[in-house]
């Protein structure tokens, strides 16, 4: 256990950051999974815009790596483009 005052403060701050990063990663994963499970193009396109916004937000903050965000967006784009429009 930490004994210095600054080390104790560091532990508290790191725990807060860990929870924020965990929430962000969970949000990204759930939005990606939601889109990949869809079969209707209109609904997928609507959720795609939201997912891209989430990915860009966390990539710009450095929560996830920018290449990781780009890879996920590419996968989602391919999936949405492969869907046929519901008639």
State the angle between helix axes of 41-61 and 66-82 in degrees (0 to 180), rounded to the nearest 10.
170
DSSP string, the chain: ---SHHHHHHHHHHHHHHHHHHHHHHHHHHHHHHHHT---HHHHHHHHHHHHHHHHHHHHHTSS-HHHHHHHHHHHHHHHHHSPPP-
Q: Which pLDDT does position 86 carry in this prediction?
A: 60
Q: Which pLDDT does position 22 carry in this prediction?
A: 97
One pLDDT digit (tens) per residue for the chain, 87 residues: 888 999 999 999 999 999 999 999 999 999 999 999 999 999 999 999 999 999 999 999 999 999 999 999 999 999 999 998 765
Q: Which pLDDT does position 85 carry in this prediction?
A: 72
Annotation: CATH topology of 5-82: Methane Monooxygenase Hydroxylase; Chain G, domain 1 (1.20.58)
Rounded Cα distance between 43 and 27, Å, is: 18
| All structural domains of the chain with their residue ranges | 5-82
Q: Which pLDDT does position 81 carry in this prediction?
A: 95
């Amino acid at each position: 256990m930490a004994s210095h005052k600054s080390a104790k403060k560091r532990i508290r701050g790191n725990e807060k950051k860990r929870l924020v990063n965990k929430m962000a990663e969970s949000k990204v994963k759930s939005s990606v999974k939601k889109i990949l499970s869809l079969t209707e193009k209109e609904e997928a396109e609507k959720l795609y815009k939201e997912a891209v916004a989430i990915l860009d937000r966390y990539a710009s903050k450095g929560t996830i790596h920018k290449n990781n965000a780009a890879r996920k967006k590419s996968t989602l784009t391919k999936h949405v483009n492969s869907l046929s429009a519901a008639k």
